[in-house]
A and B are shown apart, each in its own frame.
Chain A
Amino acid sequence: MNLEYVGLKEISGPLVVLEGVKDPSFEELVEITVDKEKRLGRIIDISGDVCVIQVFEGTHGISLKNTRTRLLGKPLKIPLSKEILGRVLDGLGRPVDGLGEIYPEKYADVNGEPINPVEREYPRNYIQTGISSIDCLATLIRGQKLPIFSGSGLPHNQLAVQIVRQAKIADEDANNFAIVFAAMGVKHDVADYFKNSFKSSGVLDRVVMFLNLANDPVVERIVTPRSALTAAEYLAFEKGMHVLVILTDMSSYAEALREISSSKGEIPSRKGYPGYLYSDLASIYERAGMIKGRKGSITQIPILTMPNDDITHPIPDLTGYITEGQIVLDRGLASRGIYPPVSVLPSLSRLMKDGIGKGYTREDHPGLANQLFAACAKVQEVRALASVIGEDELSDLDKKYMRFGRAFESAFITQDFNEDRDIIQTLDLGWLLLGLLPREELDRLSPELIEKYYGNPEENESRYRQWT
């Protein structure tokens, strides 16, 4: 075990090749000493006594001669205890906040193990985020993985912070929630922004931060979300906490994966990403959920920036196939000054159907959400037509839809960064807006619900005028 190997056979990008290794094991951790500096690496390919090792801290300054390598006899594990709350760690779970080492209660393998589907608990409790567009139309459920699809320059970080601040995850037991924040390849100021926001909302001592910033080593970036989720699993399933995990930015993560894949010389599939990108992303996203008989839960909000705002790019595409819905931000809305710029039509929460309606939110919620979606789709059609023939030429009904569209954007979607609407306010607002449409147009709602909630549109005319 204590054999030291001097020198290397080959260095390529973040990978080094070591020859003559005795008894290595797959994915074993190694320690490489480069002129007194210690670095960690992991064996990712074995062929006889030749091992390919990826070095977490990068290979700069390494030569074929100046290293001494030692096998550590174990896969990558991170130290865990409840003390990690309030701490800032690097991608490998080592403290970087200068507050000293963590006294571990246990060590856990960062790769985790898949949750057995028969032991999963189906998520049903909704989380009120206080944001109308999300609560009404893409409801977040405890134990869900709901990513934010964004683009560079869009306010996804603000939105994530607002969700964290307002999410009524903390309601039932203030000591029972935690936030795990993993930064992968984000800029320093983004990390600071999150940190300051956590501080100002008074939750900093409930947050564990795993930071791998834009100038940190790429290989460590691959491990960062796994370390974070290992910590989350520990807090949720062993300590019974409700954990909200924010992973940002998954695009940087996928790019890091591509970088390493190409230096390994693997056959690329779409846009140069490795063929296993789907499986790899799944091994991260699937670590959300609830387990039967355990108290805690893991809710994931991964953030990814769509390269060139393209939702068909492999990263958002494969993410959408794994996650349970998505919240899509739209540059067009943002440039018109609308916050949060949630694009309603492509946004979706797959789990909301079982967590809303009677007994959860309110009986009219499913029908109302459906009707709003249908109306928004119609607005889109009408707008396309209006851009060709001009708004004046539209039929009366189409004009009503145009008006509805404007009111919907300015009253329903638009919301202040500090505005926290409860679900009843949100639903009532939705009905108020439907008042702009003739009653016959409400084909997704049952006559009883229309009777009960539609109200008298004429009374609200003054408010409508303000919005349109």
Chain B
Amino acid sequence: MGETSQGTIYGINGPVVKVRGDHAFKMMEMVLVGHEKLIGEVIRVQENETIVQVYENTTGLRPGEPVVSTGSPLTVKLGPGIIGNIFDGIERPLTSIARKTGPFIGRGMIMDNLDTEKLWDVKVLVRRGDTVRPGMVIAEVQETPSVVHRVMVPPHISGVVEEAARDGSYPITRTIARIREGKTVHNLTLVQEWPVRTPRPYKSRLPLHEPLITGQRVIDSLFPIAKGGTAAIPGGFGTGKTMTQHQLAKWSNADIIVYVGCGERGNEITEVLEDFPKLIDPRNNRPLMERTVLIANTSNMPVAAREASIYTGITLAEYYRDMGYHVAIMADSTSRWAEALREISGRLEEMPAEEGFPAYLPSRLSEFYERAGMVETLNEQQGSISIIGAVSPQGGDFSEPVTQNTKRFIRCFWALDKSLAYTRHYPAINWIDSYSEYAADLKDWYAENAAPDFMTLRDRLSRILQEESKLLEIVKLIGSDILPDEQKLILESARAIRQGFLQQNAYHEQDTYVPIVKQYHMMRTVLHLHDQASRLIAKGIPVSVIRRTGVFEEVIKIKYTIANDDMGAFDKLIARIDAILSEIEASYRGAERRGLA
């Protein structure tokens, strides 16, 4: 913390304010701009002029108004009260803003980021005389029925406990332990502060070996993401990015979800706020809101705060990771964040690189995605952050700079396809363009926890889809009638895979979330049908005969007809398929014999 210093406004251009005067502002320091005390951040320091980006609307600001430093960079407060809350891009609770300025967002509001009056039941875990190290858990608070908040010693502090509070109900500002470190004494409360642009420290990185199960078939089975991994969802408008992000936020098996609505629609945030408290987490039967934090900077809120919202989100995620939780952060959309960078950069008259984006776009993107990972925390727990970033490419064109640069730093690419969305095939994840580099790392996990041959089935499934896409090229030119029967069967099986397996209905009570075991059985069933049918075809039975029995339709409908917990039904279905097919076989053999006679 440094001395406060003061300058005066010289120039104003949108969110960019030039400051002059005798001051000693530091790079990235938070400052209060003008009489209304708008929050801003120093983004360029020159010999006689400092440039500040302001997180609020600058209308009415005048040259000559003061700019006061706060001595610290843009920080967030970390403590109980984060989960279940909704914040703006710089961690101001939107409900408190609403209490102050009504339904519209006003400006110049300095407020408590976390509720300072609420009393929390604190269980203190340290005693006088204990030695504490950074990251050590000194107290526990039941933050929501789903989440135990572990109050940790902030990084960079260690020492001996001189005094510790008893268990009891305290507000977040109450000192619960006094730590002596040499000559200095630290008073630790339930909250700590952390600058958003600095990654929080951890002990070491760990290899990724466990998938983030999302209950979405195309993701879990074909393009899985590991806990601690990174994924991008690029797609033009109307392809269902936000819908997919919402599904992941709802159903993925992370302990904590941080959802950053970055420059997107206000109604989408409202939708989350309405839905999540009502939806029940299948793992503990508690409302999903009890593990979710929302950060909302809608497209019409100030652009500089949009740039900050991503960092605020990831810092909150890191804090919970440090407690030993598996956190998933959804950033919707990183393109809006990149555009915020571009807008500020343009106002600074920096030399642009591709399409007007600043040259430092790739390094900013990599800084963000590299904050994901599975780690051993300072307190020797395992925690992870998985980042799932939506990308909104201009014109739906994946060759634009944000998509291309993002691709370099992520390992899981779920490409949304406009033509699939047009046919209302959701999730519109294209199975040819998408990839997951994690599939190989996760092989063992699937073999142990799902089924030994899970990956084999998956590979066969995707091979059928690949072959279909090749065949469709031919069909486009000459129609499907003249294809040989084996190839017709590929088309038919691929149709069953697409409609029965890849398409998933987010509004269907059962189909919205499908456990991995059922995914396995669904794959097994459709491949069993394919194998048996190709056996018949090898014997000269045309595919149209098999088709007429309606077995394919029956397999397509299993997502609705077989409940998520009724795995026995699959064996019955397979038996039925076998019965139907052997009946065809028998009658065909009969016909053959009669023909010979």
Contacts and interface: CB of A to CB of B under 8 A. Distances in A.
Nearest to B475: A385
Interface in A105-131: 109, 111-123
A117 B349 contact: no
Interface string A1-32: 00000000000000000000001111110000
Interface in B40-95: 57-64, 86, 94-95
Interface stretch (A59-67, A175-183, A190-198, A343-351): A343-351
A394 B394 CA distance: 38
Interface string B376-409: 0000000000000000101111000000000000
Contact of A279 (B339, B356, B499): B339
Q: Is the interface of A mostly helix, strand, loop or mixed?
A: mixed
B237 A321 contact: yes
Contacts of B266: 114-115, 117, 120, 286, 289
Contacts of B493: none
Interface string B329-359: 0000000100110110010010010011100
A377 to B, nearest CB: 4
Interface in A147-195: none
A314 interface: yes
B151 interface: no
Interface in A342-386: 345-346, 348, 350-351, 353-354, 366, 370, 373-374, 377-378, 384-385
A377 B61 CA distance: 54
A350 B246 CA distance: 14
A461 interface: no
B478 interface: yes
A116 B105 contact: yes
B300 A26 contact: no
Interface string A87-121: 00000000000000000000001011111111111
Contacts of A26: 12, 58-62
Interface stretch (A205-213, A242-250, A263-271, A450-458): A263-271
Nearest to A386: B479
A275 B553 contact: no
Interface in A373-429: 373-374, 377-378, 384-385, 388-389, 393-395, 398
Given A266-B346, A279-B299, A112 B104 contact: yes
Most chain A beta-carbon neighbours within 10 Å: one of B274, B356, B480, B550: B356
Contacts of B238: 320, 325-326, 346, 348, 350
A373 B423 contact: yes
Most chain A beta-carbon neighbours within 10 Å: one of B10, B60, B273: B60
Nearest to B552: A440
Interface stretch (A43-51, A214-222, A252-260): A43-51
Nearest to B548: A440
Nearest to B62: A25
Given A26-B59, A47-B11, A395 B298 contact: no
A121 B267 CA distance: 8
A49 B104 contact: no
B166 interface: no
A116 B103 CA distance: 6
A286 B270 CA distance: 13
Q: Is the interface of B mostly helix, strand, loop or mixed?
A: mixed
A343 B271 CA distance: 28
Contacts of A350: 238
Contacts of B296: 117
B445 interface: no
B94 A118 contact: yes
Contacts of A446: 560
B487 to A, nearest CB: 15
B172 to A, nearest CB: 21
Interface in B206-253: 236-238
A142 interface: no
Contact of A270 (B63, B394, B553): B394
B346 A275 contact: yes
Contacts of B336: 278
B13 interface: yes
Given A25-B62, A75-B59, A267-B352, A395 B481 contact: yes
A354 B278 CA distance: 15
Interface in B543-572: 550, 553, 556, 560
A378 B271 CA distance: 32
Contacts of B479: 385, 389, 393-395, 398
Nearest to A44: B13
A141 to B, nearest CB: 10
B145 interface: no
Most chain A beta-carbon neighbours within 10 Å: one of B237, B346, B476, B479: B237
A121 B271 CA distance: 9
A440 B550 contact: yes
B191 interface: no
A83 interface: no
A317 B395 contact: yes
Contacts of A374: 423-424
B50 to A, nearest CB: 14
Contacts of B263: 278-279, 282
Interface residues of B, number: 76
A201 interface: no
Given A324-B265, A394-B479, A47 B18 contact: yes
Nearest to A278: B339
B168 interface: no
Contacts of B58: 26-27
Contacts of B476: 384-385, 388
Contacts of A366: 507
B258 interface: no
Contacts of B267: 120, 122-123, 143, 289, 324, 351
B356 A269 contact: yes
A143 B266 CA distance: 12
Interface in B310-338: 336
A312 interface: yes
B360 interface: no
Contact of B86 (A109, A118, A294, A321): A118
Contact of A28 (B60, B101, B236, B271): B60
Nearest to B350: A267
A140 B540 CA distance: 53
A262 interface: no
Contacts of A267: 346, 349, 352, 356
A203 interface: no
B300 A282 contact: yes
B375 to A, nearest CB: 32
B484 interface: no
Contacts of B550: 440
B94 A117 contact: yes
B97 interface: yes
Contacts of B261: 117
Contact of A322 (B14, B86, B299, B303): B299
Contacts of A38: none
A123 B267 CA distance: 8
Closest 7 CB pairs of A and B: A312-B395, A282-B299, A269-B356, A320-B237, A377-B423, A47-B11, A286-B300
7 contacts: A23-B62, A28-B60, A75-B59, A75-B60, A113-B105, A275-B346, A388-B477
Given A346-B238, A385-B476, 5 more contacts: A116-B101, A267-B346, A269-B352, A276-B343, A326-B237
Interface of A: 23-28, 44-49, 75, 109, 111-123, 143, 237, 266-270, 274-276, 278-279, 282-283, 286-287, 289, 291-292, 294, 312-314, 317-318, 320-322, 324-326, 345-346, 348, 350-351, 353-354, 366, 370, 373-374, 377-378, 384-385, 388-389, 393-395, 398, 440, 443-444, 446
Interface of B: 10-14, 18, 57-64, 86, 94-95, 97-98, 101-106, 236-238, 261, 263, 265-267, 269-271, 273-274, 296, 298-301, 303, 336, 339-340, 342-343, 346, 349, 352, 355-357, 392, 394-397, 422-424, 475-481, 499, 507, 550, 553, 556, 560
